[in-house]
Structure 1
Amino acid sequence: FLPTTGSLVAFEPDLSVDARWDSGVVQGSVIGTDFDPMIAKVITYGESRVDAANKLSRALESLHIGGVVTNRDFLVAILRSEAFLKGLTTTNFIEKVKPALSIVLSASKLQQVASIAALWIQGKNRDDAEILGQLPSGWRNSRLPRQKISFQYDENEIPITYRSRRDGKFDLNEKSVATVFNWDPESINVEIDGHRFTSKVTKDNDLVVVQMPWGNTSLQELPRFLLPGSEEISGGLTAPMPGKVVELKVKVGDSISKGDVVVILEAMKMEHEVNAPADGKVSEIYIKKDEQLENGALLMIVDSK
């Protein structure tokens, strides 16, 4: 979770949790490279260390946030570790305790998140419809395949299929059944196979941020069809953030291995290593030392071996 730039697609603290938020950002704020990438300071009080830590972890966990990578999950893991609760916070705490850097979601949880996102999007489509918006989602006067929407999470593609039933419920995927109790432009209350969720949902272009009991999960809605000219350049390595090229560690013709440092960028008063995503050979380089780059700028082409 190195500091990243971007816009806060979602930022909404849970005011029901007894915590103080000191922050200068709101939903839509741009996190750039001009200042330190700190989003907020959160303060809690309690009758004991455990009480205060539990309030703080809950405040962080219930924060609805998306659009930039944060260390929120890491902080929650620290606050809930036995060593921290006992006050055993020495200078080698992180090295010794090794709190989880992020939440690893199981396949079933990813299905739950994607299903909630799909049902919220279908509700938004009906709400936005200018004609016959009162008709059930996907209604046709003949038999047709289920509606389908696919999401990307890290390297996983998650397809979701659904069909509105006459009783108001939804058939999901192969065997699941869902009931939407309430939908609004900011949230959804839904039951999926006996598990009920009330989730805040925020969508910005193809990014969908879904709040779950364990925190927020960001999904990328995949297009149904690939638009001509939108294909990524094969082997293209891009800048993960805006920054200045401090050092270029390879040249055209070099053979590199997955994980090798190929470029060092300076941003937010820190140096960031850009690593090779796979084994290959550098065929083209588009940057030079001291050049200021925008986020997503093409750095080089690496031909796979």
Structure 2
Amino acid sequence: MFRPFRKVLVANRGEIACRVLKTARAKGFSTVAVVSEVDVDARHATLADEVVVIGPAPVGQSYLDAKRIIDAAERTGADAIHPGYGFLSERAEFAEACVNAGLVFIGPAAASIRAMGDKSESKRRMIAAGVPCIPGYEGEDESDARLTQAANEVGYPIMVKASAGGGGRGIRLVNGPEDLAAAIVSARSEAKNAFGDDRLLLERAVVEPRHIEIQVFGDTHGNVVHLGERDCSVQRRHQKVVEEAPSPAVDPALRERMGSAAVQAARAIDYVGAGTVEFLLDQDGNFYFLEMNTRLQVEHPVTEIVTGLDLVALQFDVAAGRALPISQKDVKLQGHAIEVRLYAEDADRDFMPQTGKLGSWRPSDGVGVRTDHGLLAGATITQYYDSMIAKVISGGTDREEARRRLVRGLRETRALGVVTNKSFLMRILEDEEFKQGAATTGFIQRRFGEQTSATHPSPEVIGLAAILAVRTSRGEWQPSAWVNHPVRLECKGERLDLKVAKRGREWQVNSDSGSILITLDEPETGIATWSSNKVLKEAPFYIDQDGIWIDAGDEIWVFRDITYAPPETNSASSGGDLHAPMVGTVAAIHVKPGDRVVRGAVIMVIEAMKMEHSVLAKIDGVVRAISCSVGTQVSNKALLASIEPENDVI
């Protein structure tokens, strides 16, 4: 049945909303954006014809409030809603509410969403449909005793997973029975906070698998096709970091088998629209159903590049009742594409989410490089939403060309003012195992472990930072002769004592390790053009209250000018004071004043950007004070609790 619509409301934000709005406008639809109060000036708001403010920053009062979104559609006369991916895109109740309000929901039917939204139910459906599945337990009895019995029956290592989960949340790997009880408690807690549903299932862990997903598309005329696979094996904490199409591990015969299984899965639930069937591929070439995402995926651009299709445009056509314009024989994969997710996070601090003002932002516009983002220069990264700020995607005639283009694209991407994982992504792409196409889901931990970035800036970068510090704090500073001016910088916890002198355009920076001469041209806004050893170079930089940010190409360094800083106090030398590792909300407190704790004990849990982070005791001792309560929003480095060292307690 043909269901025409003319005005589309995009029920999402950031790069997701920008991506959908781009195609909606290209197809001639009028568009409506919804924004929370902190997103009023966001980029996606500038791309729509109309904008509706739907509530405060917390997602539960804005982007996850179905009633407010449907009300926005009715107020603006929108007759269709595209949910994007994430937020309400996989909420069956939202799809039903849209239909009941007379709106076209640009996505699958509520029954299909419901069938695959519960991992236990979806696995039962797939087993019945003959789709290969991992041995496990998905029964209704989820008591600790039954889960323990089932784990012993399935065998270790085993995965404890949230039934309503997604995005890597509510998942724990358990290597032996001694760790099961703690994993069940932790997974239930995270699942309850993330999804409002603490039900669990168990699956035998597949060791060092590939994570392969198949893009499927169905229409209301009974047609279902697959558009090849994506390899999403490079992950950390079960969240994807790098995706590519096609997979280096999949040959045409395996692609046909996996594609057929994915189509079979989609047909089993009468699927309409864009969806992704995810599999684990073991080292023997066996594949097992993992889950089905009943929406468009974050990584869909790599499929678009190798197929030449606009998947969002196909979503619009299918939602309007049109038949798919392609059959399976028409699907041809050409070339290779790779995508990386640029996050506001500190890879050196266990990938801790970061917040703050992204004062300098310029996406790459090189040949073969595409950046999907929702940013404007000066945008503030807040605690309320996911920490992914952009996707950088490359395409090439083969995998190596796509890889080289992506390295160059990341190098050209300017993102300063907030710590990001840009340098870490470049290290992944340059790693020999990745170059060979051999990465599995254990790749990041195996190849990087705790070492995610270079440990020391080069003398040239230190010298440039010292010069910028002098220019910033002391103006042009034009002495008539060489004068050694003391400068003290701090970088990654290391103190750097330097002396800087200037004559004309030439600067001399002296340190204990030697002397370096730098010729610095008048810096344009955000770009320092300089030469050292007669080699001309450029380095983007940004200066704010946090310090001097220098993008050295493969690494970003942040220097603090502490030349005139007062001496640091030693009040917290005992390690007893616990401070917030990021901006976030206190989700749980596990102790009270007077409790004795040991080093490593979980004192409280901070929730930010959809993730939970445990704050651990640094010493043995007694809790002296708790400076917050559950639900408190805390700033970065805010005092949370104080612990009196054991030997100080009388």
Within the alignment, does 1:217 sit opposite 2:557 as a pair? yes
Q: Which residue pairs with 1:296 in the alignment?
A: 637
The secondary structure found in structure 2 opposite 1:27 is coil
Q: Which has the higher helix share?
A: 2
- The C-alpha deviation readout for 1:133-171, integer Å capped at 9, x for no partner, is 6x61xx279x9x721222222221112211124x64223
Deviation at 1:49, TM superposition (A): 0.6
For residues 302 and 160 of structure 1, the distance between their equivalents in structure 2, rounded to whole angstroms, comes to 38
Cα distance in 2 for residues equivalent to 1:222 and 1:200: 22
Distance in 2, matches of 1:67 and 1:279, equals: 37
CA distance in 1, matches of 2:565, 2:430: 44
**For 1:9-158, what aligned pairs fall within 5 Å after superposition?**
9-16=359-366, 18-98=368-448, 102-106=452-456, 109-124=457-472, 129=475, 136=478, 139=479, 146-158=484-496
Rounded to whole Å, the distance in 1 between the matches of 2:543 and 2:430 is: 30
CA spacing shift, 1:34–1:20, aligned 2, 3 Å: same
Task: Determine the C-alpha separation between the residues in 1 that align with 2:439 and 2:487.
Answer: 46
The amino acid that maps onto 1:93 is F
The answer to whether the 8 Å contact 1:256/1:279 transfers is yes
Change beyond 3 A, Cα 1:148–1:63: farther
Check conservation: 2:581, 2:637, Cα contact below 8 A: yes
1:121 to partner: Cα distance:
3.4
Secondary structure of the corresponding residue to residue 640 of structure 2: strand
On the 8 A contact 1:261/1:274 being kept in 2, the answer is yes
2:234 aligned partner: none
Change (3 A) 1:123 1:261: same
Counterpart amino acid of 1:170? W
**CA displacement at 1:210 relative to structure 2:** 0.3
The 1:157/1:110 distance shift into structure 2, 3 A limit, reads farther
Q: SS where residue 521 of structure 2 aligns?
A: strand
Residues 206-238 of structure 1: CA distance to partner in whole angstroms, max 9, x if unpaired?
4211011323111222250429xx968535322
Q: Give the direction of change, closer, same or farther, for the CA distance of 1:246–1:45 in structure 2 (3 Å limit).
A: same
Which moved further from structure 2: 22-31 or 230-239? 230-239
The AA in structure 1 aligned to 2:497 is P
8 A Cα contact 2:361 2:414, kept in partner:
yes
Map Cα deviations across residues 33-79 of structure 1 (whole Å, 9 max, x no partner). Answer: 22211100111111111110121122223322233332223322222
Quick one: structure 1 residues 29 and 169, their matched pair in 2 at CA, closer, same or farther if it must change by over 3 Å? same
Match of 2:508 in 1: 171
Q: Is the CA contact (8 Å cut-off) linking 1:245 and 1:293 kept in structure 2? A: yes
1:114 partner amino acid: I
Q: Is the 8 A contact 1:150 1:158 kept in 2?
A: yes
CA displacement at 1:123 relative to structure 2: 3.7
> Using the alignment, how far apart are the partners of 1:204 and 1:17 within structure 2?
32
Aligned match of 2:500 in 159, 162, 181? 162
* 2:428 maps to amino acid: I
Hey, what's the Cα distance between the residues in 2 that align with 1:192 and 1:282? 54
TM-score for the superposition, normalised by structure 1: 0.80
CA–CA separation in structure 1 for the residues paired with 2:485 and 2:622: 42
Aligned equivalent of 1:202? 542
Q: 1:171 to 1:68 in 2, by over 3 A?
A: closer
User: Is the Cα contact below 8 Å between 1:120 and 1:188 reproduced in 2?
Assistant: no
CA contact (8 A) 1:120 1:201 kept: no
* Cα pair 1:11 1:26 within 8 Å, conserved: yes
Matched, 1:183 2:522: yes
Aligned length: 289
The 3 A distance-change label for structure 1 pair 160 and 276 is farther
* Structure 2: distance between partners of 1:256 and 1:168: 57
1:26–1:114 Cα change, 3 Å: farther
* Aligned 8 A contact 1:10 1:27 in 2: yes
TM-score between both structures, scaled by the size of structure 2: 0.40
Stretches of structure 1 that go unaligned for 5 or more consecutive residues are none
CA 1:103–1:37 in 2, change beyond 3 Å: closer, same or farther? same
CA, structure 1 residues 66+186, in 2 after alignment: closer, same or farther (shift >3 Å)? closer
Whether the aligned pair in 1 keeps the contact of 2:506 and 2:520 (CA below 8 Å) is no
Which stretch of the first structure deviates more once superposed, 265-274 or 87-96?
87-96
CA separation of 1:178 and 1:5: change in aligned 2, threshold 3 A: same
Task: Note the C-alpha offset of 1:111.
Answer: 3.7
- Which position in structure 1 is the counterpart of 2:89? none
SS class of match (2:548): strand
State the one-letter code of the partner of 1:191.
S
- 1:266 maps onto 2:604 in alignment: no
Deviations 1:241-282 (A, max 9, x none): 23222222344353442x543321112111112234556654
**Residue 355 of structure 2 corresponds to residue 5 of structure 1:** yes
Quote the residue 2:590 is aligned against. Answer: 249
Per the TM alignment, residue 19 of structure 1 is displaced from its structure 2 partner at its CA by 1.1
1:14 offset after TM fit, Å? 3.8
RMSD: 3.1
**Preserved CA contact (<8 Å) 1:78 1:99:** no
Structure whose alpha-carbon radius of gyration is higher? 2
- The CA deviation string for residues 113-142 of structure 1, in whole angstroms up to 9 with x for no partner, is 22101212334557xx5xxx6x61xx279x
Identity among equivalent pairs (%) = 28
Q: 1:124 to 1:70 in 2, by over 3 A?
A: closer
SS of alignment partner, residue 218 of structure 1: strand
